[in-house]
Structure 1
Amino acid sequence: MKIKYIFLFLFLGIASVTTAQEKEITLAEIWTGAFRTSGMDVLHSMNNGKQYTVFNRRTGSVDKYDYKTLEKVETIVKASNLSEINSFSSYSFSDDESKLILATEVESVFRRSTLGIFYVYDIASKKVTKISDNKIQEPTLSPNGKKVAYVFENNIYMKDLSSGKEKQITTDGVQNKIINGVTDWVYEEEFSFVRAFQWNAASDHIAFIRFDETGVPEFSMDVYGSELYPQQHEFKYPKAGEKNADVSLHLYSLNADKTSQINLGNYTDFYIPRIKWTNDPVVLSVQVINRHQNELDLIMYNAANNQAKIALKETDKAYVDITDNLTFLKDNSFIWTSEKDGFNHIYHYKKDGSLINQVTNGAWEVTKYYGYDEKSDRVFYQSVENGSINRDIYSIKINGKKKKRLSAKEGTNSAKFSADFTYFINTFSSATTAPEYSLHLAKNGDLVKEIKNNKNVQQKLAGYKTSKKEFFTLTTAKGHELNAWMLKPADFDTSKKYPVFMYQYSGPGSQQVANRWNSANDYWYQLLAQKGIIVVCVDGRGTGFKGADFKKVTYKELGKYEVEDQIDAAIELGKRSYVDKDRIGIWGWSYGGFMSSNCILKGNDVFSMAIAVAPVTSWRFYDTIYTERYMQTPQENASGYDDNSPINHVDKLKGDYLLIHGTGDDNVHVQNTMRMITALINANKQFDWMIYPDKNHGIYGGFTRLHLYTKMTKFVEDTLLK
């Protein structure tokens, strides 16, 4: 009797597991966050290196924790204890950690820029000071914590926190004409920063960039909203080959109460992508790069004698990437990263720019530079030494010796170090392991404590019919070895023929084939695999982390070699016995939409369908900094622009094509899609399309993503499963 019950229990258990494993992922689950993993709060490491702070949104407080125990030590500030503020959404410290800036009523301007009402909180006195009654940008405390500088209506202001006295430093700021202290649209988007002013260490100088946009062409977007008449959103947007803002560098002296322009030298048509004060309070570092972005000068400007000298010249046959890796040591020698030997590596220079040594070297890439620890004389970095689809954490002596691998698990590891480099919090994930967070010793990588994992998400997924992501190297007929992954249906049968749906992004230096945990798209691919579709991703030439030559082969020819590789990859996949070569589709977003559009046109005998979301259809429509970095100007390289633009190949369309865009896209303008549509109509080509009113480049908000992916799923089913 007992045995029978055990048998029945086992039978019922097996039956229930089988039923659970047959559960299928739905679009509603994906886009309501059913498989969302939990992460670590963004933390600020305190100067002592032993403690850190996080913003607790639930309690509305900034809390201090101990690294070693991970226990809360104290609450620094709580909104409910402040009569002046009901709530705040973020915080930042002064350099000496005596004060906090608290952000309220924050609203977005563009991708990175915001406006808000800000307050200064004095930790010792618990006093709250409102910086301005106006919505301002980028408030920044002086290193000594006595003053705060900010931008309002394109002008720089400064407030003395003791007296409450406010001073307007610049007066010529005008919307769509002159900007002081914050970047214009194209700098913000392509050089990835907003605040264009910097305090020096002595708190007696502010260096800032001025943008004169007067001659820059203006772009206009209709905002449909809910009113009777649409509104016009107008902003300066320099398209490839058009005029950029004229930039100049200025210095405000608090002691002299005077602003002067810094003479950088004989430059014309140039960018200032970075400024940074050195440890010497009178020496400012300035990076100046030419319009082609293949010649960069690192200039040291001395405010005491008004002299500017070039310390380092970086040149490249294609382009030089801009980073935030420049680090000054106590003696003002500096650490710099460069691709000059063919791979991205770390270098150490004297303050005059003469090379001390190359810190890292090898046929692999440094993917992140974390910093330098003076007491141990070690540099900390992330790299792909363990394969280009993986990431590991390392330390190395600044002389390039005694390298240590600090991460242990194969996959994607990233680190957040304490200020004194005693500890680091490691974030790890792989294709089979959801994100894990753990505390380690920086000296050897030893585990101190597990912090958080997402095993609950993995356990939940175990109840679904999912497929394993298979990584492999795809070799094209031309001999190019490309990183790839494949998802097969869970009930895959080698005797059957399956359609293939390819995903790629393909932009310069990007990577989609990586050993990391699922994104929302990965769950969509699982859903498509459930329906009997093989999903494949291939990183072609032009993508990153395999050396400069592999990445920069696409220079002046965006959309040529990357498209060739996707077409050739599809041909190779079509040779497999289980692939139906007549049902191969491709999709992508942004640069990926540019690619998928080109693929179905140039590869019209290979691809039977394509989806393009927010695509560039001609690089003539995109901005100067991004486009010209890879293409030079249309005036110099007309064939590079036109020969590889989908808009010029619409007559080749044979398969099914779905075009999607948001009208509020300030990045890749809907003009790209509208001009593509016009060309398709003029060529008498049938296609499908979807427009999302007022949605930006991300096309999200409310049910928008669910609607978008429902639309795309139906299109995939109708074209690949027919």
Structure 2
Amino acid sequence: MKKLLVLFLFGSTFAYAQRNFTIEETVFGPRQFAPETLVAPQWIPDTDAFTYLDAKYQNLLIRDSKSNWQDKTLVTTSQIAEAIKKTLGTEDEIILTYFPYDYQWKDQNTLAFQINAKNWKYTISYLLKDNKAAILTKAPNEGTNIEIASDFSKTAYLIGNNIEIIDQKGAQTKVTQDTLDGIVNGSDYTHRQEFGINKGMWWSPDNDKLLYYRKDETMVTKYPLIQWQERVASVKDIRYPMAGMKSEEVTLVVYNSKSGRKTTLKTGEPKEQFLTICTWDPSSQFVYVGVLNREQNHLKLNKYNAETGDLVQTLFEEQSSTWVEPQHALLFLPNKPNQFLYQTDQDGYNQLYLYNTDGKLIKNLGFQDVIVEDVRDFLPKGNSLTYIGITNNGLDRQLFKVEIPSGKTKQLTQAQGTHNASISSTGKFVLDQYANISTPNTINILQADGKTAQHILTAENPFEGEVTLPKIEPVSLISADGKTPLNGRIIYPNDFDPNKKYPVMVYLYGGSHAQLVQNRWLYGAGYFDLYMAQQGYIVFTMDNRGSDARGRDFTRVTHRQLGQAEMADQLCGITYLKTKNFVDTTNIGIFGWSFGGFMTTSLMVYHPEVFNAAVAGGPVIDWKYYEIMYGERYMDTPQENPDGYALTSLIDKAKQLKGNLLIIHGAQDPVVVQQHSMDFIEACIKAGKQVDYFLYPTHEHNVMGKDRIHMYEKIAHYFDLHLKK
């Protein structure tokens, strides 16, 4: 019996033993343990069928209502590759290892996708019925920022800082030929990609005209980045517009591909302004531009004549005592070319507003306190629109449908959590993928009324049988103002014993456009959070006021004094932790990067009695060293807000540091330049304060790749050294 018992116990342990994450899995774990899902799903136009890639990215599968949503193979990678080789008529070497992830349906029978070859980047059209492929567009391999006309007749791209166009016959045109350092054409890196800017060129709907940014940053101060690879280090200069200093001057130009004529839109003075939400009118005769002043508190939506560049009309203006932050281009209704949707949080939450092209507000399409996060699809006839909306105090994402003429809104998905859903172009079915804290991934086909038509997938816990997942617990707190609910989470050690005391790692960010706590798988926790919990830490995270997805008033409280309300809220979290008997209040650490690094350092110097150890990565130390576009939105200029800049600067507060602080910085950081941390180190030296410092010589703002493993190992070791006693 003893032998059998020993054998049973050994067999059970062998079969079901689980382990902790390795340090390597803090970086590569998200890919290794990703829950099962449908890869790159897309509805086929004008059908009730959708396609997606198999798990090995080799086959394109299809499911449709006619076959009761059962999957079958539609086309394989080998079929695509064979068709390309037979019909392309090019000498370029093309290797198709995986099915193109970026495939798009042009119609019910035609796929379009991009591939890279030896000399060119191609857009390929593939006909399913004929098993034939053809080149739709091509651009040279060195071309960047590629923009393709909707009829595939022309392709614009950048070579360096200049724009070229190539047509379907291969004829190339140099649109710009600027050689002066500091003149940049067509780049998405305009206004440092703030204000929702993600491209620098736009083809007109008639595909004859190209609208593009022309950025003049010759007057912007050069900032040196030291290059360490050579025997004698060299200097790489970047243009960095620091708060309160000279900013770039940007114009918008229309290039007519038929006449070769260029027209600059007359956006007026002052030259230091931000040109945003650029949108072509459906007629291709006009361009709409959001003209935002440098103070970022006054937006004009202007309409310009694309032929003459003249200002036709200011449709409306939006002003604020804090800031106006345009993020989304206008969206014209497919059935009414004189009406468009505009997104703004001017009434409290980012929502949709229907205007006509004369600037008249037709209807507010907002629904309760739902925040529009992602506009999805128009339904047939263009009278309805779907979007992903944020609900449940920022925790959930749901799919909504709004009837545009009436404004009537319906929530199409119901389960609490984060939904990634899309509706078929017929409007009959919804493909819904959702996850929450206890659900890795569930996929259903829903009917238009929201009822489940077919269950597709319930993903298993990807850690089951291999890695012991720590317990993750949602936390709800109240902010320092005593009235605003805050979302947080606690991650417990695997062998948690409420009668023991554990050190704490607080992980935070705290800045705008970021949210760490969401009702999705793992509740938004990162793998390093899970790893540290497995190493015996209580890991705590909370989204303070100023962070994302909670509406206008939640963010505006930080104006002109970044870090103050945020710190007050984070201290509410610390107060909560201290009520727990299992928390070792003498060994609390804090870790954050970028704005989180600013928050980490701020808490260490403002409240040195709270934290025994901290790691600040790429930290902002003084906002006068930060860029104009982001920094002045929240802080105004140093000249306008000297008290706010003095309050939030950490250089003169280095003398208040008491605990153990490790600062990590990338030597090539073009976002939070190294001067931030170097000035703080110098202040610590003069104040007689010891501080630890580590530099990643070849990395920019984030440490990426295998070096990120080295970074996490260093951070874990630092907390072990100072918090485990």
TM-score by length of 2: 0.87
2:306 aligned partner: 303
Compared with structure 1, are the counterparts of its residues 580 and 480 closer, same or farther at alpha carbon in structure 2 (3 Å cutoff)? Answer: farther
- Alpha-carbon distance in 2 for matches of 1:273, 1:645: 30
Q: 1:78 aligns to what?
A: 80
- Candidates 272, 285, 290, aligned match of 2:288: 285
**Aligned-CA RMSD value:** 3.4
Deviation sequence 1:470-528 (CA, Å, 0-9, x none): 33224558565422211233443343333322111100243212111238953333333
2:221/2:240 contact within 8 Å kept: yes
Moved more, 337-346 or 136-145: 136-145
Equivalence for 1:232: 235
Tell me the distance in 1 between the aligned counterparts of 2:483 and 2:714: 37
Amino acid at match of 1:181: G
Task: Letter of the 1:570 partner, please give it.
Answer: I
Q: Hey, what does 1:172 align to over in structure 2?
A: 178
Structure 1 stretch 518-527 or stretch 216-225: which is displaced more?
Answer: 518-527
Q: CA 1:392 to 1:57, structure 2 compared with 1: closer, same or farther past 3 Å?
A: closer
Among 115, 119, 123, which residue is 2:122 paired with? 119
- 1:193-592 matched pairs, under 5 angstroms: 193-225=197-229, 227-303=230-306, 306-324=310-328, 326-329=330-333, 330-331=335-336, 332-375=338-381, 377-399=383-405, 401-418=407-424, 421-441=427-447, 443-460=448-465, 464=468, 466-474=470-478, 476=480, 481-518=485-522, 522-592=526-596
Is contact 1:64-1:74 (8 Å) kept? yes
Distance in structure 2 (CA, Å) of the matches to 1:507 and 1:616 = 11
Q: Structure 1 residues 524, 123: CA separation in 2 closer, same or farther (over 3 Å shift)?
A: closer
Task: Check if 1:182 corresponds to 2:187.
Answer: yes
Deviation of residue 381 (structure 1)?
2.0
Give me the whole-angstrom Cα distance separating, in 1, the residues matched to 2:341 and 2:206. 22
SS across alignment from 1:455: coil
Q: Check conservation: 1:269, 1:290, Cα contact below 8 A.
A: yes
**Residue type of the alignment partner of 1:78:** I
Match of 1:675, SS state, is: helix
Give 1:27 shift: 2.0
Q: Aligned in 2, Cα 1:71/1:41: closer, same or farther, shift over 3 Å?
A: same
Deviation at 1:400, TM superposition (A): 5.2
Match of 1:87 among 84, 95, 98: 95
Is the counterpart of residue 712 in structure 1 residue 715 in structure 2?
yes
Aligned residue type for 2:460: K
Q: CA deviation at 1:42?
A: 3.5
Change (3 A) 1:378 1:458: farther
Tell me the distance in 1 between the aligned counterparts of 2:306 and 2:283: 10
Q: Does 1:672 align with 2:670?
A: no
- Closer, same or farther in 2 for the Cα pair 1:195/1:676, shift >3 Å? same
* More deviation, 343-352/306-315: 306-315
Instruction: Return the alpha-carbon distance in structure 1 between the equivalents of residues 220 and 345 of structure 2.
Output: 32
SS at match of 2:676: helix
Partner of 2:164: 157
- Partner-residue secondary structure (3-state), 1:649: helix
For normalisation by structure 1, the TM-score amounts to 0.88
The correspondence for 1:657, drawn from 658, 661, 665, is 661
> Could you tell me which of 598, 614, 617 is aligned with 1:613?
617
How far apart are residue 625 of structure 1 and its match? Answer: 0.8
Question: Which residue identity is paired with 1:263?
Answer: K
TM-fit CA distance, 1:412: 1.3
Q: 1:377 to 1:14 in 2, by over 3 A?
A: farther
Q: What amino acid does structure 2 have at the position aligned with 1:86?
A: I
User: Which of 19, 24, 27 is residue 28 of structure 1 equivalent to?
Assistant: 24
**Is the 1:476–1:572 contact (alpha carbons within 8 Å) kept by the matching residues of 2?**
no
Q: Match of 2:175, as an amino acid? A: I
Aligned partner of residue 381 in structure 2, secondary structure: coil
CA contact (8 A) 1:264 1:308 kept: no
1:639 aligns with 2:643: yes
Shift of 1:420: 5.5
Change (3 A) 1:93 1:254: farther
Q: The residue matched to 1:42 in structure 2 has which SS? A: strand
CA contact (8 A) 1:583 1:720 kept: yes
Contact 1:508/1:552 (CA < 8 Å) preserved in 2?
A: no
Cα distance between partner residues in 1 of 2:7 and 2:472: 27
Cα displacement (A) at 1:662: 1.8
Task: Write the distance in 2 (CA, Å) between the matches of 1:537 and 1:410.
Answer: 21
Preserved CA contact (<8 Å) 2:377 2:422: no
Q: Measure how far apart 1:457 and its partner are.
A: 0.2
User: Could you report, residue by residue, the CA deviation over 1:71-90 in whole angstroms, capped at 9, with x for unpaired residues?
Assistant: 44346983464352423677
Deviations 1:353-403 (A, max 9, x none): 211111123234333322432537222122233342122212122245543
Shift of residue 141, structure 1, vs aligned partner:
2.6
Q: Supply the distance in 2 between the matched residues of 1:413 and 1:79 (Cα, whole angstroms).
A: 34
| In structure 2, C-alpha distance between the alignment counterparts of 1:683 and 1:520, rounded to whole Å | 39
Query: Does structure 2 retain, via aligned residues, the 8 Å contact 1:239–1:621?
Result: yes
Deviates more, 1:131-140 or 1:211-220: 131-140
User: How many angstroms apart in 1 are the aligned matches of 2:682 and 2:37?
Assistant: 45
- By how many angstroms is 1:465 displaced? 5.8
- Do the aligned partners of residues 525 and 194 (structure 1) sit closer, same or farther apart at CA in structure 2, a change above 3 Å counting? closer
CA distance in 1, matches of 2:530, 2:290: 45
Question: How far apart are residue 184 of structure 1 and its match?
Answer: 3.6
Q: How many equivalent residue pairs?
A: 701
Instruction: Write the letter of the residue equivalent to 1:209.
Output: Y
Residue 299 of structure 1 aligns to a residue in which SS? strand
Helix, strand or coil at the partner of 1:643? helix
Q: State the SS of the aligned residue for 2:439.
A: coil
CA distance in 2, matches of 1:94, 1:232: 47
Opposite residue 578 of structure 1, the aligned amino acid is: F
Q: Contact 1:138 / 1:195 at 8 angstroms: preserved in 2? A: yes
Letter in structure 1 aligned against 2:571: I
Distance in 2 between residues matched to 1:548 and 1:314, nearest whole Å = 14
Shift of the 52–94 alpha-carbon distance from structure 1 to 2, 3 Å rule, reads: closer
Helix, strand or coil for the counterpart of 1:592? helix
Instruction: Provide the secondary structure at the position in 2 that maps to 1:383.
Output: strand
Structure 2: which 5+ runs fail to align?
86-90
Give CA-to-partner distance per residue, 1:91-125, whole Å, 9 cap, x none.
5769889795634379xxxxxxxxx9422435477
Q: Which runs of 5+ in 1 are unaligned?
A: 107-115
Shift of 1:143: 2.6
**How has the CA–CA distance of structure 1 residues 660 and 101 changed in structure 2, closer, same or farther, with 3 Å as cutoff?**
same
Most deviating of 511-520 and 216-225: 511-520
Residue 458 and residue 471 in structure 1: after superposition, are their counterparts in 2 closer, same or farther (change >3 A)?
farther
Q: Kindly indicate whether the alpha-carbon contact (under 8 Å) linking 2:490 and 2:538 is maintained by their aligned counterparts in 1.
A: yes
CA contact (8 A) 2:197 2:327 kept: no
**Alignment partners' CA distance in 1, 2:465 and 2:211:** 53
| Percent of residue pairs bearing the same amino acid type | 27
